Amino acid sequence: MRVMMVVVAAAAAFGLAAAPAMAAPALSEQTVFYDISGSTMKDLVDELRRKGPLDADGKRYDADTRWTVKWNYRYQPKGDACRLNTVHVSAEIKYVMPRLADSARVPADLRQRWNSYIGNLKTHENGHGRHGSDAAREVEKALLALSRANYTGITADADTTAKQVIAKYNKLDIDYDAKTSHGATQGALFR
Task: Please give the residue range of the domain that contains residue 148.
Answer: 7-186
**Total count of domains within the chain:** 1
Judge whether residue 119 has pLDDT over 90.
yes
**Is 146 part of any domain?**
yes
pLDDT of residue 16: 40
The whole-chain average pLDDT of the chain stands at 88
The residue with greater pLDDT, 17 or 37, is 37
Distance, CA of 34 to CA of 32 (rounded, Å): 7
Judge whether residue 181 has pLDDT over 80.
yes
- Residue % of the chain over a pLDDT of 70: 88
Judge whether residue 78 has pLDDT over 80.
no
The residue with greater pLDDT, 61 or 2, is 61
**Is 174 part of any domain?**
yes
Coil, helix or strand at residue 148: strand
**Is 1 part of any domain?**
no
